[in-house]
Amino acid sequence: MRMDMVAVVFSFILSVSLMLYYYQQALKTLVCYDVKAWELAERTANALLEGMSIRTSAFIMVELISWNGSRTIYTIGRPNTSPLGRAYTFRILNNGTLMKVVVEVSSDKDYIIVEKESH
């Protein structure tokens, strides 16, 4: 086998290996913001059911829909002008009220801190 053919095969294998390596490294840093928002929505809904207070860097909108059709909406945090991820979850309260929790995140560093209510 000629040396130029060996060099071509070697450079092809090396270039494909490097492309696969950099692709795999890029996938490690990929963040799905909707999944992050869903995780925070679930934590928020559970904390609200337990009567905890919440501090957050994300924007949270809680909508309570009563069985007679009345709606109450309140928000936690500041609205994002351009959210990167949005998710929601539902809970049914003991009195039959449906609670919808919507979370919008603008960074993968957004957080929710759950604190016990001090009475």
Neighbours of 8 (CB within 10 A): 11
Domain shared by 67 and 18, yes or no: no
Of the pLDDT bands very low, low, confident and very high (cuts 50, 70, 90), residue 71 is: very high
| pLDDT digit string, tens, across residues 29-44 | 777 899 999 999 999 9
Measure the CA–CA gap between 48 and 40, rounded to whole angstroms.
12
Q: Look at residue 62 in the predicted model and tell me its pLDDT.
A: 97
- Confidence bin at 110 (pLDDT 50/70/90): confident
Whether residue 47 is found in the same domain as residue 82: yes
- Residue 97: give the domain boundaries: 33-115
Residues 2 and 45 in one domain: no
> Do 94 and 63 belong to one domain?
yes
Q: pLDDT-based confidence at 16, cuts 50/70/90?
A: very high
- Are 26 and 73 contained in the same domain? no
pLDDT computed for residue 1 by the predictor = 65
The total number of structural domains that make up the chain: 2
3-class SS of residue 40: helix
Question: Are residues 37 and 26 both part of a single domain?
Answer: no
93/104 same-domain check: yes
Tokens matching residue 112: 């929710």
78 contacts 39 by C-beta, under 8 angstroms: no
Task: Give percent helix, percent strand, percent coil of the chain, each to the nearest 5.
Answer: 35, 30, 30
